[in-house]
């Protein structure tokens, strides 16, 4: 394997000695640090001077931007290497369980990136077409002319199930993905736009995509994701929550008050992936290394799909995009919000850098983690460092 375990152990040692805060728990060295098939043309090793520089700036930015009220996990990486991470606060306020590197938190809408890339993986394998209509998989579905690609790019005009299910479905019953589809077939809630006319972010799209994955693979979505996505990528602390897991539900919080489960808390595809920042770094590395989907497919996923309104902000296939033609900045990202979870996942393409934040105690300031990206802009004294 390349690079060797010894090299990565040395990198981990320098990360600690340079001030990257680690949890006191003795965490085993995982595949974030020992992953095979690393393309050194993508992940150039950082010099000790550069790593010290980035670590100091990352820690300072973290404390300045997020302050003392953050409850969750944060990881900042450059060239595939962790330069700073922290685990702060409480995972379960009922038991006063602390957050550790192995604490899986609700990703909310960051879950959509896994659903979307899995659809594209199945497309690469020839198991579906992006031009397939929903009726190929659900013949009675009442909305015509909607393709898989439109689902991926939020261009369907479908109504958001979170609203019509909470109003029209029994409050004391947890809905599954199939329940959502059956409700739409039976009740035909009103569309918000005609297909492919405009971008309208909608959770329904990714509930349907997860259900299509089940049809194509003939497996439950949680099992397929575990066996064919998470485990091959070494994401050992990652799973999909479903209706069978309700007895083990980990709530998120408003203050110290847990959010109760609602009748739409057991659907998946749009949400309900639970993971850690270290596992998400493995996910991010798979994107850089093209170990899960091909470079050409990823380029397509990162290509803006909606052009009705000219903007540097757009949406590709399961990813939000930001392209600044003046500075040449290219940022691929996805935020997440559900109950007390609000999260940030940033993939800074031109800097080969990553910022991941997961919070399980509602704090709108969490989204300001994106400002940490300023440490990778090449300003200040970075240019004076030796390679």
Confidence of residue 25 (pLDDT cuts 50, 70, 90): very low
Q: Give pLDDT, residue 148.
A: 98
What is the average pLDDT across 25-53? 62
Confidence of residue 39 (pLDDT cuts 50, 70, 90): low
Q: Give pLDDT, residue 378.
A: 55
pLDDT over 90 percentage in the chain: 82
Q: Is the pLDDT of residue 3 over 80?
A: no
Tell which residue, 263, 142, 146, 161, has the closest CA to residue 204: 161
Per the CB < 8 A criterion, the answer to whether 217 and 229 are in contact is no
**DSSP H helices in the chain:** 5-17, 31-34, 48-66, 111-124, 148-152, 161-168, 177-187, 203-217, 221-225, 277-289, 295-301
Q: Is the pLDDT of residue 10 over 50?
A: no
Strands laid side by side in the 72-78 sheet: 81-88, 72-78, 353-359, 341-348, 330-338, 320-323, 313-315
Higher local confidence (pLDDT), 222 or 6: 222
What is the average pLDDT across 293-310? 96
Q: What is the pTM of this model?
A: 0.88
Instruction: Classify residue 7 as left (phi > 0), alpha (psi -120 to 50) or beta.
Output: alpha
Per the CB < 8 A criterion, the answer to whether 192 and 161 are in contact is no
The conformation of residue 41, written as its DSSP 8-state character, comes to T
344: three-class secondary structure by DSSP = strand
Rounded distance, CA 236 to CA 244, Å? 20
Rounded distance, CA 364 to CA 66, Å? 10
String of DSSP letters for 278-327: HHHHHHHHHHHHTSSS-HHHHHHHTS----SS--SEEE-SSSEEEE-TTT
Q: Give pLDDT, residue 89.
A: 96
Confidence of residue 17 (pLDDT cuts 50, 70, 90): very low
Structural element, H or E, at residue 78: strand 72-78
Higher local confidence (pLDDT), 171 or 41: 171
Q: Give pLDDT, residue 377.
A: 63
Rounded distance, CA 105 to CA 296, Å? 31
341: three-class secondary structure by DSSP = strand
Burial label, 251 (beta-carbon count in 10 A; 0-12, 13-18, 19+): middle
Q: Give pLDDT, residue 382.
A: 29
What is the average pLDDT across 184-212? 98
Tokens read off for 66: 């997020």
Average pLDDT of every residue of the chain: 88
258: three-class secondary structure by DSSP = strand
What is the average pLDDT across 32-47? 62
Q: Give pLDDT, residue 22.
A: 41
Q: Give pLDDT, residue 259.
A: 95
Tell which residue, 343, 383, 372, 380, has the closest CA to residue 70: 343
Burial label, 284 (beta-carbon count in 10 A; 0-12, 13-18, 19+): buried
Confidence of residue 304 (pLDDT cuts 50, 70, 90): very high
The residue ranges of every structural domain in the chain are 48-377
Fold category of 48-377 in CATH: Beta-lactamase (3.40.710)
Q: Is the pLDDT of residue 7 over 80?
A: no
Confidence of residue 350 (pLDDT cuts 50, 70, 90): confident
Q: Write out pLDDT tens, residues 252-293.
A: 999 999 999 999 999 999 999 999 999 999 999 999 999 999
């Amino acid at each position: 394997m390349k690079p060797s375990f010894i090299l990565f152990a040395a990198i981990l040692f320098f990360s600690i000695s340079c001030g990257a805060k680690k949890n006191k728990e003795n965490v085993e060295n995982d595949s974030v640090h020992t992953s095979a098939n690393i393309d050194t043309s993508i992940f150039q090793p950082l010099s000790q001077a550069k790593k010290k520089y980035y670590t100091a700036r990352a820690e300072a930015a973290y404390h300045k931007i997020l302050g003392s009220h953050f409850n969750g996990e944060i990881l900042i990486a450059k060239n595939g290497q962790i330069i700073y991470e922290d685990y702060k606060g409480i995972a379960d306020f009922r038991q006063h369980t602390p957050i550790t590197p192995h604490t899986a938190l609700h990703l909310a809408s960051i879950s959509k990136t896994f659903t979307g890339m899995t659809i594209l993986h199945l497309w690469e394998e020839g198991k579906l077409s992006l031009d397939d209509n929903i009726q190929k998989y659900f013949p009675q579905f009442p909305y015509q002319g909607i393709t898989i690609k439109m689902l991926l790019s939020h261009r369907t005009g479908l109504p958001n199930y979170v609203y019509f299910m909470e109003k029209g479905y029994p409050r004391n019953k947890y809905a599954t993905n199939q329940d959502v589809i059956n409700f739409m077939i039976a009740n035909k809630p009103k569309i918000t736009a005609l297909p492919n006319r405009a971008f309208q972010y909608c959770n329904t799209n990714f509930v349907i995509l997860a259900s299509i994955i089940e049809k194509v693979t003939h497996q439950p979505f949680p099992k397929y994701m575990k066996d064919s996505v998470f485990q091959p990528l070494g994401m050992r602390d990652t799973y999909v929550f479903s209706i069978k897991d309700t007895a083990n539900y980990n709530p998120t919080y408003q203050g110290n008050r847990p959010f109760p489960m609602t009748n739409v808390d057991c659907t998946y595809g749009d949400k309900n992936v639970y993971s850690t920042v270290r596992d998400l770094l493995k996910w991010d590395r798979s994107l850089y290394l093209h170990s899960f989907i091909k470079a050409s497919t990823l380029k397509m996923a990162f290509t803006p799909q909606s052009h009705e309104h000219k903007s540097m902000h757009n949406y590709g296939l399961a990813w939000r995009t930001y392209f600044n033609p003046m500075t040449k900045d290219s940022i691929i990202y996805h935020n997440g919000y559900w109950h007390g979870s609000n999260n940030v996942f940033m993939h800074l393409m031109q800097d080969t850098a990553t910022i991941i934040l997961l919070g399980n105690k509602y704090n709108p300031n969490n989204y300001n983690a994106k400002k940490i990206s300023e440490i990778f802009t090449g300003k200040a004294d970075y240019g004076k460092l030796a390679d």
